[in-house]
């Protein structure tokens, strides 16, 4: 049954990918990308990777669609005609595809318990998580504690991405002006549309509540800072679409958003530094409290909060930077 | 009892699938944008109601059923709203310039 479902999802993925490439209407391509992400999320879920599925659904199908639409509002909605025949590109693609297909022949079968990836450190993580960290969700333990360096790196990649996008979108203006529309601010929103406004008002509190649930339930179920940050940003973006970006910027002003971007990443770093000051290794949370297990849990909650704050700030900064830019610069 | 629940949930699955299938056929076969949306939006709500109701019967009195109820409420609120927003955008676009009917008929 599962294999049937997986084959169906994978074939839908291929069909969607082909449709994205072949569509010259960029709006349609963006919507298809959202569908692609949703199918991918379902695929991850079939593979029992609920945390990744949640991230893919929130970021891939949700936020990136909004950001792509924001980018499309600045450019043309149709693809320009292609230059020349696709001869070389076709050859390169076919060679690459053949290489990848050839490489999969050496791949262990799906779910093979003897696969190298399941023999290396994974058994140790599974055995030691209840003992050392004491939380049910091993993914969060691996992400937040065992491999905290990697997650720190990810947070700083997100941070760097936000800085880069802000610099690029500021154009000829100083970066401090990047959220301010040049002329005729689109602060109108959907004020005159009763139904979306009322439904949005009804839903936004629950979106925030769900984001907080995902944030703080990450130790027990799928979730964590990345997913919660995306959901939180989605709630604010919905608010901005309903009442206008100006009002959303009043609620969450620009210095606060930029502070969240830097502050979230710094909070993560600071937890690591405090661990060092208390005599442990960098990001070794055991020294944070008298009880080593409680220290680990405290450290994970703190760094997840840092991740959530940083991701919310980054996504909102990018959204406002896109929204404030008028086309034709 | 469990047999009755199974029969009920499979009945709901069947109704939901049938309704969603009719909606998909409508989206493909209807001539204009508004008629296509008519096919998609109505069947979407009823199909989701039936399918999620079927899963809830399978879940029984548990936390999963409550979560499914939350998803159902969310869908029942957002699905008609997005249909409204889409139809409204098409209408405003039609007033501004090209008619949605002509575009959809391509």
pLDDT for B102 equals: 44
Q: What does the mean pLDDT of chain A come to?
A: 86
Q: In Å, how far is B88's CA from the nearest CA of chain A?
A: 9
Of A75, A97, A120, the residue that ends a domain is A75
Using an 8 Å CB-CB cutoff, list chain B residues near A195.
80-81, 84-85
pLDDT of residue A91: 92
**Is residue A100 domain-resident?**
no
Cβ <8 Å between A199 and B85: no
Structure ipTM = 0.78
Residues A73 and A325: beta-carbon distance below 8 Å: no
* pLDDT, tens digit (0-9, with 9 covering 90-100), for B8-66: 999 999 999 999 999 999 999 999 889 998 888 889 899 999 999 999 998 888 888 99
User: What pLDDT score does B51 carry?
Assistant: 93
Mutation target among A203, A220, A235, A238 for the B interface, most CBs of B within 10 A = A203
- Range in A91-95, A202-206, A276-280, B99-103 with the lowest mean pLDDT: B99-103
Q: Residue B105's pLDDT is what? A: 40
Whether A193 has its CB under 8 Å from any CB of chain B: the answer is: yes
Task: Assess if residue A101 is contained within a domain.
Answer: no
Q: What is the mean pLDDT of residues A115-131?
A: 84
Distance in Å, alpha carbon of B1 to nearest chain A alpha carbon:
26
pLDDT at B103: 44
pLDDT at A213: 92
Instruction: For chain B, say whether A196 makes contact (Cβ under 8 Å).
Output: yes
Please indicate, yes or no, whether residues A23 and A169 belong to a single structural domain of this protein: no
Tell me what pLDDT residue B49 has. 92
Q: What is the mean pLDDT of residues A147-174?
A: 88
> Which residue range(s) make up the domain with A14?
1-75
Cβ-based contacts of B77 with chain A (< 8 Å): 199, 202-203
Distances B101 to A46, A77, B93 between C-alpha atoms, Å: 40, 19, 11
Handedness of CA A159, A160, A163, A164 (dihedral sign): negative
**CA-wise closest residue to A226 among A255, A264, A254:** A264
A275 and A194 in a common domain: yes
Task: Determine the pLDDT at residue A204.
Answer: 93
The residues, ordered by sequence, that sit 6+ positions from B44 with a Cβ below 8 Å of its Cβ are: B20, B23, B79, B83
pLDDT > 80? residue A293: yes
Chain centroid to Cα B61, Å, comes to 25
Q: Is B78 on the interface with A (CB under 8 A)?
A: yes
Q: How many beta-carbon contacts under 8 Å exist across A and B? A: 17
Lowest mean pLDDT among A74-78, A168-172, A186-190, B96-100: B96-100
Examine the fold and report which residue of A57, A75, A93 is the final residue of a domain before the chain moves on: A75
Does A203 sit within 8 Å of B74, measured CB to CB? yes
Which residues of chain A lie closer than 8 angstroms to B88, CB-CB? 193
pLDDT at B106 over 60: no
Confidence category of residue A188, pLDDT binned at 50, 70, 90: low
What local confidence, expressed as pLDDT, does residue A328 receive? 46
The residues facing A55 across adjacent strands are: none
The predicted-structure confidence for A218-271, as pLDDT tens digits, reads as follows 888 888 889 999 999 999 999 988 888 888 888 888 889 989 999 999 999 999
User: pLDDT higher for A21 or A81?
Assistant: A21
Cα separation, B11 vs B1, in Å, equals: 15
Domain that holds residue B87: 2-104
Residue B77 touches chain A, beta carbons under 8 Å: yes
- Name the domain boundary from A75, A95, A116: A75
Interface test with A, best of B45, B69, B77, B103 (most A CBs within 10 A): B77
- A188 near B CB under 8 A: no
Count of structural domains within chain A: 2
A176–chain B nearest CA distance, Å: 34
**How far B77 CA lies from chain A's nearest CA (Å)?**
7
State whether A167 and A237 are in the same domain. yes
Task: Give the position of tokens 């606060």.
Answer: A256
Any alpha helices (H) in chain A, and if so which ranges?
2-22, 26-46, 50-55, 64-74, 87-104, 116-119, 122-128, 138-141, 148-170, 194-216, 225-243, 245-251, 254-277, 292-324
A203–chain B Cβ distance below 8 A for any pair: yes
Claim to verify: residue A303 and residue A218 sit in the same structural domain: yes
Residue A190's pLDDT is: 65
How far A196 CA lies from chain B's nearest CA (Å)? 6
Q: Are residues A186 and A302 in the same domain?
A: yes
Is there a single domain that holds both residue A225 and residue A294?
Answer: yes
Q: What is the pLDDT of residue A183?
A: 52
Among A16-25, A55-64, A122-131, B29-38, the range scoring the smallest mean pLDDT is: A122-131
Distance CA B22, CA B50 (A): 14
- Residues A29, A140, single domain; the answer is no
Of the two residues B104 and A272, the one the predictor is more confident about is A272
What is the tally of structural domains in chain B? 1
Per-residue pLDDT at B69: 92
Query: Do residues A140 and A36 share a domain?
Result: no
Instruction: From chain A, pick out residues whose CB is under 8 angstroms from the CB of B45.
Output: none
């Amino acid at each position: 049954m599962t294999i049937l479902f997986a084959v169906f999802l994978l074939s839908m993925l291929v069909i969607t990918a082909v449709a994205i490439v072949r569509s010259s209407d960029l709006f349609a391509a963006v919507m298809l990308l959202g569908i692609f992400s949703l199918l991918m999320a379902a695929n991850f879920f079939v593979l029992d990777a609920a945390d990744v599925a949640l991230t893919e659904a929130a970021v891939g199908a949700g936020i990136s669609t909004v950001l792509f639409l924001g980018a499309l509002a600045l450019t043309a909605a149709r693809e320009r005609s292609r230059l020349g025949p696709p001869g070389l590109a076709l050859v390169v693609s076919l060679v690459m595809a053949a290489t990848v297909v050839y490489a999969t022949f050496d791949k262990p079968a799906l779910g093979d318990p003897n696969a190298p990836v399941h023999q290396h450190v994974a058994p140790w993580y599974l055995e030691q998580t209840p003992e050392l960290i004491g939380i049910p969700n091993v993914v969060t333990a691996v992400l937040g504690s065992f491999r905290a360096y990697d997650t720190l790196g990810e947070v700083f990649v997100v941070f760097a991405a936000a800085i880069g996008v802000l610099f690029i979108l500021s154009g000829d203006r100083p970066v401090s002006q990047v959220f301010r529309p040049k002329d005729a601010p689109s602060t109108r929103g959907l004020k005159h549309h009763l139904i979306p406004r009322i439904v949005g008002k009804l839903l936004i509190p629950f979106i925030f509540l769900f984001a907080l649930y995902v944030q703080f339930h990450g130790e027990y179920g799928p979730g964590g800072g990345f997913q919660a940050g995306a959901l939180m940003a989605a709630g604010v973006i919905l608010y901005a679409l309903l009442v206008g970006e100006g009002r959303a910027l009043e609620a969450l002003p620009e210095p606060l958003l930029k502070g969240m971007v830097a502050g979230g990443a710094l909070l993560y770093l600071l937890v690591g530094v405090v661990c060092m000051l208390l005599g442990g290794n960098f990001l070794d949370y055991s020294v944070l409290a008298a009880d080593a297990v409680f220290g680990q849990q405290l450290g994970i909650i703190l760094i997840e909060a840092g991740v959530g704050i940083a991701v919310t700030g980054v996504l909102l900064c990018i959204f406002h930077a896109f929204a404030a830019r008028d086309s034709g610069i | 009892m469990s047999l009755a629940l199974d029969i009920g949930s499979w009945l709901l699955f069947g109704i939901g699938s049938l309704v969603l299938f009719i909606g998909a056929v409508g989206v493909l076969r209807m001539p204009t944008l508004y008629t296509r949306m008519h096919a998609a939006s109505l069947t979407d709500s009823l199909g989701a109601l039936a399918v999620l109701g079927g899963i809830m019967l399978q879940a029984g009195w548990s936390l999963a059923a409550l979560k499914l109820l939350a998803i159902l409420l969310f869908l029942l609120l957002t699905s008609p709203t997005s249909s409204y927003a889409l139809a409204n955008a098409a209408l405003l676009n039609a007033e501004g310039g090209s008619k949605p009917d002509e575009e959809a008929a391509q």
